[in-house]
């Protein structure tokens, strides 16, 4: 990431970005909201519930940051603890960013799967050792 890309970006969003790349995208895994909030740790917020609230805000900011940089939706690797699928917030954010997510649940899940694939391909290919 170029230094100019980090200007005016909340440090918590940059920390989230690094976490999603290192823990999930570069290794081809998905993470739940709870797992991501736990990994962010107590230094980010006073309580676990507050981290979850902040996480949703940070995910939206990160999605916009990645879209502006022309990269796939890194936030696609974060899924619901209950379903293992993206929440409605993921799709609302994608819609707001101008992505065509589709009109049916099946269309939206195909969009999400394509973003997961693009994200994993992008970050796996970006690793210096290629692994």
- DSSP letters, 40-53, are H-TTT-SSHHHHHH
Strand pairing report for 31-32 and 78-79? parallel
Residue 127 scores a pLDDT above 60:
no
Question: For the chain, what is the mean pLDDT?
Answer: 87
60-117 tens-digit pLDDT? 999 999 999 999 999 999 999 999 999 999 999 999 999 999 999 999 999 999 999 9
Specify the pLDDT at position 129.
44
Q: How large a percentage of the chain has pLDDT more than 90?
A: 69
Q: Which CB contacts under 8 angstroms, 24+ apart, belong to 115-121?
A: 115/72, 115/73, 115/76, 116/30, 116/76, 116/77, 118/72, 118/73, 119/25, 119/72, 119/73, 119/74, 119/76, 119/77, 120/25, 120/28, 120/77
Structural domain boundaries of the chain? 9-122
More confident residue, 20 or 129: 20
């Amino acid at each position: 990431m170029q230094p100019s890309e980090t200007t005016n970006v909340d440090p918590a969003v940059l920390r989230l970005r690094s976490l999603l790349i290192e823990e999930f995208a570069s290794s081809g895994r998905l993470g739940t909201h709870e797992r991501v909030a736990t990994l962010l740790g107590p230094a980010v917020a006073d309580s676990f519930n507050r981290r979850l609230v902040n996480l949703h805000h940070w995910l939206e900011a990160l999605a916009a940051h990645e879209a502006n940089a022309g990269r796939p939706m890194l936030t696609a690797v974060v899924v619901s603890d209950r379903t293992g699928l993206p929440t409605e917030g993921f799709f609302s954010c994608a819609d707001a960013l101008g992505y065509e997510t589709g009109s049916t649940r099946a269309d939206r899940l195909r969009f999400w799967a394509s973003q997961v694939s693009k994200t994993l391909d992008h970050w796996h290919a970006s690793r210096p050792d290629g692994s």
